[in-house]
Structure formats: structure tokens, C-alpha cells
């Protein structure tokens, strides 16, 4: 058989899920996905699960739509609708530049996890292919490698091992991978009631999906400004306790048409959680909706708790920080992906908010926010840091720890802001001189008052930090569907280099 090459292209997820996941390493891959979620242990999420998993709390995800049929989201999505004009009435993913974004986000908020043996199909699947089918599959596999590693992908892997995989159709395992698991480790795995794979911070919470098209002009109908206002109102009316918004405009202003929608959320005691934005998308300062008073704004950190250089904007609106790199999440049609961005940090905090609400059902949304920010692990400068806010999420403490007494004055409301700013807009440019201290209006990053937000023009997709970052580099997406093979091939290559260096 001769091997044929194809140019780089993104594997269709349906085909990739069917042909790549059935490798013998699928169970190990599911375990790898779980191990990659460092925030579960580091942020005390697993400890918080001893108290609650978020049962009875509903999180609305306003995004590009959610694939509720994904194994980790089965039974999680309890309702949805579309506001783009191009999606389904159930809020499933809408075709656009970052169709997968909403599914990735939802899986980190309330994914259920999966059976560790799911997708474990015999390698006989490859033997059953005729030569043409195998060549077609392998071409797609190499294209996926090129998408994952770039044009220089052949320098990143062991070509001999790849050739061996092609010739034998056998997964390239080595002695270490074939070793039997330690009995204690095996027993420990069997005691995990949540299985394996990607799991959300609040696996007991329910999800509502509001699908949007975050591109302007929207080829299907209404613009972003109108879609978001309608989606927020709908989420509140559908009984959402939390609204997750992993989207951002890159500017502090927000359309005046949003006032009513976000005020509706505030009046109905719904907590809105928004991503701070991504520097790689050109958003160096936090933008709306994260700048709207009352919104819980989430910045991003890496595993070492350093602010993400490419994945976290800064500003006085930042309340809290959580993991934004490296992340793993669910893709439409059953796949998984590695990614980066505050788009992932926001649903981690939304999940933590759901845990707090479930553990303390009598708290208001502002009191839930208070528990989250006051129990955060302090990072950055003293006080409220423009990059970390109050610090890095500590879910265990937020759920069960002691907190300072709640003071409403510490948490300004959108109602106060509208009364002050919109009135000032109507009364003239000098009206700000009469703003009372108790209104909670804060200075901007340089100590000067913020410019008064005006109704913003509709912006293009490049201005929306969350989804667009997938397409322009703010979020690095590497398909995990080939991860089992790539990991081993790459590791063998590195071992060979190490041996030659030490030999």
C-alpha cells in the first residue's frame, strides 16, 4: 500500500469521533482528559463536591449553541432556544467561525463526565477496513496531525513509529503503556462515582442554551447587540439562576439597549458571570458585558497561577481569576479539544457559583458573589488587583468557609449606575459633578473617571473575545481526538533525542 498525503484541513468531528476515538487507548484518553482538569483539585472543587454538586441550580450559557448529545452533556441541557435566526429551537450549535465554543464552555460549567470505557472499540475496526478505506482514514489522521502541530508537524513526531502504525494498523504502545495498573490505583479508579472524561465544576447543575451568531453582520438575521439583549431576558424568564457569558466586546461601553435586559437579571436576582476577554484578540482592557455593574468578571491564569499573557485582559472590573490555560473541553459531535482563554475561566466560576447557591439556597446573587470573591486565594497586589481581582477561585472555601459580613455597599448595582450615568447623559456633560459617593462609581485604571458609556455600534466578530479567539489565536485548539497516538509518538521521539544526547 502506498501512503497518500493531503493538505492541512480540519477533520469533520463526526468522522473524527467515529474513526479516532475507537482506538484501544480510548479509556486512557478519558482518564487523561480528567487529569488535565487541574482546577478540580487545585481550586478545591472536589472537596466542595462532598457538600454539593450544584443540584437544583440552573446555568444559562449564552453562546454559540450547545451539543447536548455529547456524552459528557447528556441530561445536562434541559432547555434552549436560538436568537440568531440560523439555529434550532433547542439552542444547538449554530454554524459560524467558532461553532464549537458554546459546547466547550458548557462542559466546563456542568459536564457530567463519561464512562471511562466509552469509545473502547477493538483495533479490529482497522483490520476490517479495505486498503482504500484505511488510506482515506490515515490521510485524515495525518491532516489532523498537521492541524494540531502546524506545517512543521513531521518534525514533532517519530516518523518511524508513524510508518509502523500505518503498516501494522496497530496502536503504537510501548512496554510502559502495556504495564498492568497498580492494584491500589485500580481500586482507587473504581471508587470514582463520576467516571472519567471532562466534567464540569457543577456536574449536578442544569444548563439552558441560548444560541447566538457572534458575527456582524449576522447572515441569518439580528445583530449581536439585539441577540444578547433578547438572550439575557429569555434566560431570566426561563428560571436561570446564573448566566454565563464567555463573550466580550473589547470596549468598556455597552449598548443602552442592554440596560433593560441586565437590569431584569439584577431585579430577578440572577448572577451574571462574564469573561474578562483575551489579550491575543487585542483586548488589553476588560470590555462589556464584563464591565456592567453587578456582573462577576473573571480573569484567566495558568496552572502556576500566573496571569495568562495571551488569555486575560485586565481592569478594575475584574473580580476573580480562574484557569484559562491549558484547558480541555467537549466539542460538538462527541470530540474533545485543548483550548485556552477566559472563555473557559468564566464557566469554571459559574460552576463554582452553582455550588455556592446549592449549598446556601437562601443567599442572594450578590451574597453568592461575596462568598466567591471574599474566599479567593489572594494573588497579585494587595487589595483588588487589576489582573487578579480579589484572587484565584477557592471553591471549597466559597462553599463551606467563613466569610466577612456582607455589605451591600461593597457591590454596586446596575440600577444605581443607570440612575447616575443615564441621567447624567440626559442632563448634560457636567452632571457627573453631582454623583454621590454611595453610588459606587469608580475611577478607571489611570485614576481618571471612565468615559460615559454610549450606545455602541454593532461590531464585527473580531471584537467578540470568546468565540472569535478560537479563530484568531486567543484560544489554541488542539484536537484531543488524535491525542492518544500523538502523545506516544511524540514521547518516543523525545526519548530518542534524550538517548542520543546522553549517549
- Phi, psi (degrees; rounded to nearest 5) at 255: -60, 140
Q: Read off the pLDDT of each residue in 202-207 and give the average, rounded to a whole number.
A: 98
Indicate if the pLDDT at residue 464 is higher than 70: no
Question: Residue 102: what pLDDT?
Answer: 96
Instruction: Read off the pLDDT of each residue in 200-220 and give the average, rounded to a whole number.
Output: 95
> Lowest mean pLDDT: which of 187-191, 245-249, 434-438, 451-455?
451-455
Distance CA 291, CA 299 (A): 12
Range among 142-146, 153-157, 279-283, 366-370 rated most confident? 366-370
Which H/E stretch holds residue 300? strand 296-301
Record the pTM.
0.73
Q: Give the span between the Cα atoms of 404 and 413, in whole angstroms.
A: 20
What pLDDT is stored for residue 116 in this prediction?
60
Kindly give, in sequence order, each residue whose CB lies less than 8 Å from that of residue 207, ignoring residues fewer than 6 positions away.
58, 59, 60, 61, 66, 68, 73, 76, 77, 78, 106, 109, 110
Backbone phi, psi, residue 208, to 5°: -110, 140
Amino acid at each position: 500500500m502506498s501512503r497518500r498525503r493531503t493538505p492541512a484541513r480540519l477533520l469533520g468531528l463526526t468522522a473524527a469521533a467515529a474513526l479516532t476515538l475507537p482506538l484501544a487507548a480510548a479509556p486512557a484518553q478519558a482518564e487523561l482528559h480528567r487529569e488535565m482538569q487541574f482546577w478540580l483539585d487545585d481550586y478545591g472543587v472536589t472537596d466542595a463536591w462532598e457538600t454539593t454538586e450544584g443540584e437544583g441550580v440552573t446555568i444559562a450559557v449564552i453562546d454559540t449553541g450547545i451539543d447536548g448529545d455529547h456524552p459528557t452533556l447528556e441530561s445536562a441541557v434541559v432547555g434552549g432556544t436560538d436568537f440568531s435566526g440560523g439555529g434550532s429551537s433547542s439552542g444547538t450549535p449554530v454554524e459560524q467561525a467558532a461553532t464549537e465554543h458554546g459546547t466547550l464552555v458548557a462542559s466546563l460549567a456542568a459536564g457530567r463526565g463519561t464512562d471511562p470505557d466509552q469509545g473502547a472499540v477493538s483495533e479490529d475496526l482497522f483490520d476490517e477496513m479495505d486498503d482504500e478505506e484505511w488510506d482515506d482514514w490515515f490521510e485524515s489522521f495525518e491532516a489532523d496531525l498537521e492541524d494540531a502541530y502546524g506545517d512543521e508537524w513531521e518534525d514533532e513526531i517519530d516518523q518511524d513509529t508513524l510508518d509502523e502504525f500505518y503498516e501494522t494498523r496497530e496502536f503504537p504502545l510501548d512496554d510502559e503503556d502495556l504495564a498492568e495498573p497498580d492494584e491500589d490505583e485500580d481500586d482507587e479508579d473504581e471508587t470514582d462515582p463520576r467516571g472519567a472524561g471532562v466534567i464540569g465544576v457543577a456536574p449536578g447543575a442544569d444548563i439552558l442554551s441560548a444560541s447566538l451568531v457572534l458575527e456582524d453582520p449576522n447572515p441569518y438575521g439580528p445583530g449581536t447587540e439585539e441577540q444578547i439583549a433578547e438572550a439575557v431576558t429569555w434566560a431570566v424568564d426561563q428560571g436561570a439562576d446564573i448566566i454565563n457569558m464567555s463573550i466580550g466586546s473589547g470596549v468598556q461601553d455597552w449598548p443602552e439597549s442592554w440596560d433593560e435586559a441586565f437590569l431584569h437579571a439584577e431585579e430577578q436576582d440572577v448572577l451574571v458571570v462574564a469573561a474578562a476577554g483575551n489579550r491575543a484578540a487585542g483586548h488589553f482592557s476588560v470590555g462589556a458585558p464584563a464591565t456592567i455593574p453587578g456582573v462577576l468578571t473573571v480573569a484567566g491564569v495558568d496552572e502556576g497561577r500566573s496571569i495568562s499573557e495571551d488569555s486575560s485582559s485586565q481592569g478594575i472590573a475584574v473580580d476573580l481569576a480562574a484557569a484559562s490555560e491549558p484547558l480541555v473541553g467537549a466539542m460538538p459531535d462527541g470530540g474533545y479539544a485543548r483550548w485556552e482563554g477566559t472563555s473557559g475561566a468564566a464557566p469554571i466560576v459559574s460552576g463554582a457559583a452553582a455550588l455556592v447557591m446549592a449549598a446556601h439556597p437562601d443567599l442572594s446573587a450578590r451574597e453568592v458573589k461575596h462568598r466567591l470573591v471574599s474566599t479567593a486565594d489572594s494573588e497579585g497586589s494587595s487589595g483588588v488587583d487589576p489582573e487578579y481581582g480579589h484572587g484565584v477561585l477557592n471553591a471549597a472555601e466559597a462553599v463551606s468557609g467563613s466569610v466577612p459580613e456582607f455589605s451591600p455597599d461593597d457591590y454596586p448595582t446596575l440600577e444605581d449606575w443607570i440612575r447616575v450615568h443615564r441621567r447624567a447623559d440626559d442632563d448634560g456633560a457636567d452632571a457627573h459633578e453631582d454623583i454621590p459617593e454611595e453610588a459606587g462609581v469608580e475611577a478607571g485604571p489611570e485614576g481618571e473617571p471612565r468615559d460615559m458609556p454610549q450606545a455602541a455600534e454593532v461590531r464585527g466578530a473580531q471584537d467578540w473575545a470568546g468565540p472569535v479567539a478560537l479563530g484568531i489565536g486567543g484560544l489554541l485548539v488542539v484536537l484531543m481526538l488524535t491525542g492518544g497516538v500523538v502523545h506516544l509518538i511524540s514521547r518516543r521521539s523525545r526519548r530518542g533525542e534524550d538517548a542520543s544526547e546522553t549517549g
